[in-house]
Amino acid sequence: MHHFTAASDVTDLPALLAKAARCKADPLQWSTLGRGKTLGLIFFNPSLRTRLSTQKAAHNLGLQCIVMNIGTEGWQLEFEDGAVMNAGTAEHVKDAAAVMGRYCDIIGVRSFPGLKDREEDYQERVLEAFKKYAGVPILSLESATRHPLQSLADLLTIEEYKQVERPKIVLSWAPHPRALPQAVANSFAEWIRASEYDLVITHPEGYDLAAPFFAGHTVTYDQNEALKDADFVYVKNWSSYRQYGQILSQDPSWMITEEKMALTNQGKFMHCLPVRRNVIVADGVIDSADSIVLDQAENRTYAAQAVLATLLGK
């Protein structure tokens, strides 16, 4: 594994999941692996659980962390090749990334999409520039189109809770007052495919994900049909990919309620958090015994730890 930015970066997913489970069972077993090494965490956008869990994972490996909040602390970066930089941007990403690569053994990057220009967002220019210029492994802390550490933690959580070999897993859209990225939904679909589970995706018309992400999965506009007999219900809002970045629906009937969960096979409720309570999901569902959102959050640490250990050569 050279980088960790998408499911396709992982050559042996079962082994990676097993490694994450081992990290959880004994977090300090590789506590000197990162000795003398530095993890740079570059945030173009704010972060709470990603930062905390990744810092904790690094600590567990004896890896030093340096956090940079670009934007509030740093510079405006230039991305155009050959630009005459006599205006707003103070440093070209090719220099900034290369410099960070001289200080850091691994660089984590968080960069959200603008949700204005689909082509630009899906080119992942920030992440790709770091991969191209930094000279060290790049760890995605959520990029414009994917959130792989979240998905790995989600899979680890499913492994912990599944009762049957091939559980029924559902990804359901739910309403939200603001336009959100497709990254978590894209990644979940991508990683479920990589783990060879089936996935049913349900959302209102116009909310189809990009084809490479939903390909091979079942898609339906009938949420109740999708939820029927589900073992895991992963809920998430995203803005439209087709009418890019737009909110096409805030239909409250898509909120996950206890009535809807009653359609499932005592399904586990999953969400990446933060979550808008009583908009995305009713209190009664997220506060129930079948809600495993905190396990997902906790597993972020061990997902990150397994990935960091792998990038360090373990």
Residues found near a second copy in the complex (CB under 8 A): 27-28, 31, 35-36, 38, 40, 46-49, 51-53, 55-56, 59-60, 64, 66, 68-69, 72-75, 78, 82-87, 90-92, 95-96, 98-100, 102-104, 177, 273-279, 283, 286, 293-294, 297-298, 301
Cβ 46 to a second copy, closest distance in Å? 5
Query: Which phi and psi (to 5°) does residue 87 adopt?
Result: -125, -125
Collapsed DSSP state (helix, strand, coil) of residue 284: helix
Q: Among positive and negative, which fits the CA dihedral 309, 41, 154, 187?
A: negative
For residues 69 and 246, which CB has a smaller minimum distance to a second copy in the complex?
69
Cβ 198 to a second copy, closest distance in Å? 29
Residue 100 contacts residue 42 (beta carbons within 8 Å): yes
Residue 192 contacts residue 216 (beta carbons within 8 Å): no
> Which residue(s) pair with 69 in the sheet?
43
For residues 151 and 296, which CB has a smaller minimum distance to a second copy in the complex?
296
Q: Among positive and negative, which fits the CA dihedral 301, 303, 306, 307?
A: negative
For residues 205 and 283, which CB has a smaller minimum distance to a second copy in the complex?
283
For residue 150, the surrounding DSSP H or E stretch is helix 148-161
Cβ 206 to a second copy, closest distance in Å? 20
Cβ 83 to a second copy, closest distance in Å? 7
CA atoms lying within 13 Å on the CB side of residue 39: 31
Cβ 68 to a second copy, closest distance in Å? 7
**In the chain, what is the greatest distance between 2 CA atoms, to the nearest angstrom?**
61
For residues 41 and 127, which CB has a smaller minimum distance to a second copy in the complex?
41
Residue 151 contacts residue 175 (beta carbons within 8 Å): no
For residues 15 and 48, which CB has a smaller minimum distance to a second copy in the complex?
48
| Distances from the Cα of 135 to the Cα of 34, 100, 104, 240, 251, angstroms | 18, 9, 10, 35, 46
Cβ 156 to a second copy, closest distance in Å? 14
Residue 154's closest CA among 186, 179, 123?
Answer: 186
Cβ 265 to a second copy, closest distance in Å? 25
For residues 158 and 297, which CB has a smaller minimum distance to a second copy in the complex?
297
Contacts of 33 (CB under 8 A, 6+ apart): 61, 62, 63, 309, 312, 314
For residues 103 and 242, which CB has a smaller minimum distance to a second copy in the complex?
103
Structure tokens that stand for 36 in this block:
């003398």
Rounded distance between C-alpha atoms, residue 122 and residue 157, angstroms: 28
Cβ 43 to a second copy, closest distance in Å? 8
For residues 8 and 82, which CB has a smaller minimum distance to a second copy in the complex?
82
Residue 117 contacts residue 131 (beta carbons within 8 Å): no
